[in-house]
Chains A and B, each alone.
Chain A
């Protein structure tokens, strides 16, 4: 048992696999001696050297393309895109190529690659450095999408992502990096398995990424008001753990989904649609979504706080659903 931050857990997962398998390597902008823009790979350059922890030029298209090409030819690359916001620059490589190759080529090529990238608002970084665009990627057949919350989940799911033979996009939230927690297992956690972060009987709050921490606070507050909330963290967005959701909804009969995405076209909407389509009879009320606003992420703290789906917004949604 060890206490670790989210950032340390991610670093640990990469290091574990790099120690075991010389074909695993990490590349991205400033991931080398500098240790990455947020410090995630700090120290890894010293341990693994410049061949395996490689700085790239500012060329996101080439970063993802190189991950694809090297994965197709025997390596297991981990490519870091400094922020999710910059993944747009590399969208062709990720969507038209990495995601579809296995299918287009009739299953002839496997791409064991991980794209790690950073999401999230809350640091006054404005519209081009703060958004959460997981829905762009969950939309694409051929990609697996992982967005864990706790240090234990980050460690186990990153190990499984590196072990996976499909392209995996692995999201990290910049505010969550400092969250600490106990890590007791150094084994992979299978992709597609959710986890109940807190048990409850009146409502299921489905949350992932940093929203898990906000949802847990909301659940605590609701508890005081006599509402028992279950917090369900799918951890992997695709494949989604539908069984766990069905089990929880069968018990609580109410669902609130929260994510930091723009609400329109969000993955939260996808989860909501799935619950409505497949579990309608279990529901006491329509699903509610607590997402960010449909605006670009604003700079000033007053505006950014209004943009972000906060703990109190989750509390309010749960209460409104019961009225």
Chain B
């Protein structure tokens, strides 16, 4: 495997950024600073990190309602994300999208998505475009276990497979779609098995192991860039929080929760890096402190940013004119 120490150090920073961004969002939501629906990625940090470490800036991703981690891992700026969560005009979407719709075309982020399963089909289109334009770009498509019961999942895998598109389907199996446990919402254990139905490779990995995810994604992306078509990677993980903030998640088994939290991805990666002489504890603590400062700066930026103006509501519906607004 061709992973460098520098990449591993970068992966550590990415994971810590996600962890701290999400922890801060959790508090800000509880304190009433973030409105709307908030779906946190706590406990799943290794997946976005391991996949996106293999992507170039001009590669694409599609994301989900639980998208903050994907966006940070793809290089998203936490300042603009925070401002968007706060509904400010400086946010990634000028306050129009919020947590569920963060996008950055310059970084190849084709949007978080509030419609379960919608990103899978969009990824097919991005893959078609990469292949057609012969650019060597790829699209990584993130989605949850629950979304694999939507028609879109099956339609997307089939179309991507017959056209041999450079799409990496990354299933984040956190074992729940809202309150429905995986064992109740589908009759299989390994979602990776579904790849067989479309004649493409399917692999299941420990989604709390950043290096395992990195390796699986590395192989899939190499295949995709060589024109060998899509891969389905299932990353087994666990969402620590409720489905959204405010959901007490009484449907979870406390013992299972405890076991998964014990296998938590950031701590495991720290141990791995230390054991392999990639980073010392002091070096990692220093990263932690730097990220703390980044988060503080992002919060300050969000807090000091202006709100949108009511008349902005009619802008951006179309590229070439503004919609009428109401004068009150």
User: Which chain A residue lies CB-closest to B309?
Assistant: A302
Who on chain A is nearest to B88 by CB? A300
Q: A30-B178, A30-B179 are in contact. Are A296 and B317 (CB under 8 A)?
A: yes
With A124-B36, A125-B36, A127-B97: A302-B314 Cβ-Cβ less than 8 Å: no
Nearest-CB residue, chain A, relative to B101: A126
Are B98's CB and A124's CB within 8 A? yes
A293: which B residues are within 8 A, CB to CB? 313-314, 323-326
- A299 in contact with B97 given A33-B179, A34-B178 (CB within 8 Å): yes
Specify which of B146, B307, B317 is in contact with A300 (CB 8 Å cutoff).
B307
Please indicate the chain A residues that have their CB under 8 angstroms from the CB of B178 in the complex: 29-30, 34, 37
B88 → A minimal CB distance (Å): 7
B310 at the interface (CB under 8 A from A): yes
Q: Which residues of B contact A300 (CB under 8 A)?
A: 87-89, 95-96, 98, 307-308
> B279 at the A/B interface (Cβ < 8 Å)?
no
B150 at interface by CB-CB < 8 Å: yes
Question: Does A164 sit at the interface, judged by CB under 8 A?
Answer: no
Q: Is B293 an interface residue (CB 8 A)?
A: no
Contact with A along B160-185 (1 / 0, CB 8 A): 00000000000000000111100011
Interchain CB contact under 8 A, B147 and A58: yes
Selected from A55, A125, A126, the residue in CB contact (under 8 A) with B180 is: A55
In the complex, the answer to whether A124 meets B149 with C-beta atoms within 8 Å is: no
Distance between Cα atoms of A32 and B251 in the complex (Å):
11
In the complex, which of the residues A58, A123, A124 contacts B87, with contact meaning CB atoms closer than 8 Å? A124
The number of residues on chain A lying at the interface, defined by a beta carbon within 8 Å of a beta carbon of chain B, is 39
Stretch at the interface among A140-148, A151-159, A216-224, A303-311: A303-311
- Asked whether A312 and B308 contact (CB < 8 A) given A58-B117, A125-B36, A126-B97, the answer is no
A128 interfacial by beta-carbon distance below 8 Å: yes
Query: Which B-chain residue is minimally distant from A128 (CB atoms)?
Result: B114
Q: Find chain A residues with CB under 8 A from B280 CB.
A: none
Within 8 Å by CB of A58, from B98, B116, B313, B325, lies B116
B interface: dominant SS: loop
**In the complex where A59-B149, A126-B98, A300-B96 touch, is A294 in contact with B177 (Cβ < 8 A)?**
no
> B317 near A295 (CB under 8 angstroms)?
yes
Tell me the residues in window 13-46 of chain A with beta carbons closer than 8 Å to chain B beta carbons.
29-30, 32-34, 37
Q: Can you name the residue of chain A whose Cβ is closest to the Cβ of B115?
A: A128
Residues of A within 8 A of B36 (CB): 123-126, 299
In the complex, the answer to whether A55 meets B184 with C-beta atoms within 8 Å is yes
> Within 8 Å CB of A305, what residues of B?
310
For window 289-323 of chain A, which residues contact chain B by CB distance below 8 Å? 293-296, 298-303, 305-307, 310, 312-313, 316
- Choose from A37, A58, A306 the contact partner of B149 (Cβ within 8 Å): A58
Give B298-315 interface residues, CB cut-off 8 Å to A. Answer: 307-314
Chain A's interface: helix, strand, loop or mixed, by majority?
loop
Q: How large is the interface on B (under 10, 10 to 19, 20 to 34, 35 or more residues)?
A: 35 or more
B226 beta carbon closer than 8 Å to chain A: no
User: In whole angstroms, how far apart are the Cα atoms of A129 and B100 in the complex?
Assistant: 10
Do the beta carbons of B313 and A307 come within 8 Å of each other?
Answer: yes
Given contact pairs A61-B151, A293-B324, A29 touches B180 in the complex (Cβ within 8 A): yes
Q: Verify A299–B323 contact, CB threshold 8 A.
A: no
Contact A127–B101 (Cβ < 8 Å): yes
Does B93 count as interface, using CB distance less than 8 angstroms? Answer: yes
User: Are A295 and B313 neighbours in the complex by a CB distance under 8 Å?
Assistant: yes
Indicate if A285 sits at the interface (CB-CB under 8 A). Answer: no
Query: Does B114 contact A126, Cβ atoms closer than 8 Å?
Result: yes
Known interface pairs A299-B36, A301-B35. Does A294 touch B180 (Cβ–Cβ under 8 Å)?
A: no
Q: Is A89 an interface residue (CB 8 A)?
A: yes
State which residues 115-172 of A face B: CB under 8 Å.
Answer: 123-129
CA of A33 to CA of B180 in the docked complex: distance in angstroms?
A: 10
Q: What A residues does B105 contact at CB under 8 A?
A: none
B317 contacts A294, CB within 8 Å?
yes
Query: Given contacts A298-B95, A299-B98, is CB(A306)–CB(B251) below 8 Å?
Result: no
Distance in angstroms between the alpha carbons of A252 and B326 in the assembled complex: 26
Q: Across the interface, do B177 and A299 meet the contact criterion of CB distance under 8 Å? A: no
Nearest CB in chain A: distance from B275 CB, A: 40
Chain A residues with CB below 8 A from B56, complex form: none
- Is A57 among interface residues, defined by CB-CB distance under 8 A? yes
How far apart sit A127 and B144, CA to CA, in the bound complex (Å)? 21
Chain B residues in 8 Å Cβ range of A29: 177-178, 180
Tell me the bound Cα distance from A45 to B177 in angstroms: 18
Which chain A residues lie closer than 8 Å to B240 at the CB level? Answer: none
Beyond A127-B101, A293-B324, A299-B96, whether A57 also contacts B146 by CB under 8 A is: yes
CA distance A301 to B96 in the complex (A): 9
Query: Given the complex, which residues of B lie within 8 Å of A55, measured CB to CB?
Result: 179-180, 184-185
State whether the Cβ of A86 lies closer than 8 Å to any Cβ in chain B.
yes
With a cutoff of 8 Å between Cβ atoms, the chain A residues found around residue B101 in the complex are: 126-128, 299
* Separation of A296 and B95 alpha carbons in the complex (Å): 13
In the complex, what distance in Å separates the CA atom of A34 from the CA atom of B149? 19
Please state if B324 and A294 are interface contacts (CB–CB under 8 Å). yes
Q: CB distance A58 to B93 under 8 Å?
A: no
A-B contact pairs, 15 of them (CB 8 A): A34-B251, A55-B179, A57-B177, A57-B186, A58-B185, A59-B149, A86-B116, A89-B115, A123-B36, A128-B114, A293-B325, A299-B93, A299-B98, A301-B87, A303-B95
Which residues does B use to contact A, with CB under 8 Å? 35-37, 84, 87-89, 93, 95-98, 100-101, 113-117, 146-147, 149-151, 177-180, 184-186, 251, 307-314, 317, 323-326, 328
> 10 closest pairs, A vs B, by CB?
A299-B98, A300-B87, A300-B95, A124-B36, A128-B114, A34-B179, A57-B149, A124-B35, A306-B310, A57-B185
A-side residues, CB < 8 A to B, are: 29-30, 32-34, 37, 55, 57-61, 85-86, 89, 123-129, 293-296, 298-303, 305-307, 310, 312-313, 316
Q: Can you add 7 more A-B contacts, CB < 8 Å, to A30-B180, A128-B101?
A: A30-B179, A126-B100, A301-B35, A303-B95, A303-B308, A303-B310, A306-B313
